[in-house]
Amino acid sequence: MATIQQDRDALERLIDKSSNIVFFGGAGVSTESGIPDFRSKDGLYHQKYLYDPEIILSHAFFEKYPAEFYRFYRDKMLVLDKKPNPCHYYLAELEKKGKLKAIVTQNIDGLHQMAGSKNVLELHGSIHRNHCLSCYHFFDAGFVKNAPDIVPHCPYCGGIIKPDVVLYGEQIDDRSVVFTAKALLDADLLIICGTSLQVYPAATLLKLYNKKDIVYINSDPKSTYDRASLVIHHKAGVLFGGMKA
């Protein structure tokens, strides 16, 4: 197995020769910021709840049991005290240098934007965008966090406020898909990081990238991606923390 410095050198050689990089990330990008992922052994989907978390995070469940949904959501997803880690900051620097054209993330935590990244395509939405289901009024995450009732209600019309996060059974926002497709078609380097690629259509969108160089970064030594030209088994924050954009 290559040392972390050998991996960094190999990654930097690919980044140096690329001018149109797309970074495709998942929950593993934020675990070093203190946000658990879903499918690792200590991830959300392995923790015991009354209902299966993938049931709780579904449109049907939200409609039927909004209080139960919000109990889980407030406990596990509405995290406002977490900070970006070196992976987020490295990517923001790479974007400033004009080499990173887009971050496509499955995360809803907003940490890429907090680190300074501008072009972030949030395939699964964001905890920072919330709307009243009746009058469509916008509310930020702080309003939802501080609402007096477990299910936040709109002060203008009394309607239920729902986070703009894509629940199971809901469509991914068309614009994010179109912009992701365009970014992948234009890219000359694809970096896939911190995702198990279990969820569609996120994983299928990657097939639109048809150039040679693909980097797959995952801290699980058993996790790999057969299309990758470089596989790195290190934690994203540690890996990028030792690199200069």
Q: Are strands 120-122 and 125-132 parallel, antiparallel or unpaired?
A: unpaired
Q: Per rule CB under 6 A, is residue 38 in the interface with ligand APR?
A: yes
Query: What does the alpha-carbon distance between residue 89 and residue 112 come to, in Å, rounded to a whole number?
Result: 8
Assess contact for 209 and 196: CB atoms under 8 A: no
CB 175, min distance to ligand APR, A? 18
Q: How far is CA 153 from CA 79, 129, 131, 235, in A?
A: 20, 15, 10, 40
Assess contact for 242 and 163: CB atoms under 8 A: no
Q: Per rule CB under 6 A, is residue 88 in the interface with ligand APR?
A: no
The partner in contact with residue 218, picked from ligand APR, Zn ion, none with C-beta cut-offs of 5 to 8 angstroms by kind, is ligand APR
Q: Per rule CB under 5 A, is residue 138 in the interface with Zn ion?
A: no
CA 164 to chain centre: 14
CB 156, min distance to ligand APR, A? 30
Q: Per rule CB under 5 A, is residue 156 in the interface with Zn ion?
A: yes
From the list 1-9, 37-45, 89-97, 138-146, the region that binds ligand APR by CB under 6 A is 37-45
The partner in contact with residue 154, picked from Zn ion, ligand APR, none with C-beta cut-offs of 5 to 8 angstroms by kind, is Zn ion
Among 20, 40, 134, 223, binds Zn ion (CB under 5 A): 134
State the Rg of the chain over Cα.
18
The vertex-22 CA angle with 3 and 170, nearest 5°, equals 115
Q: Per rule CB under 5 A, is residue 132 in the interface with Zn ion?
A: yes
Q: Per rule CB under 6 A, is residue 7 in the interface with ligand APR?
A: no
Among 43, 116, 241, 242, binds ligand APR (CB under 6 A): 43
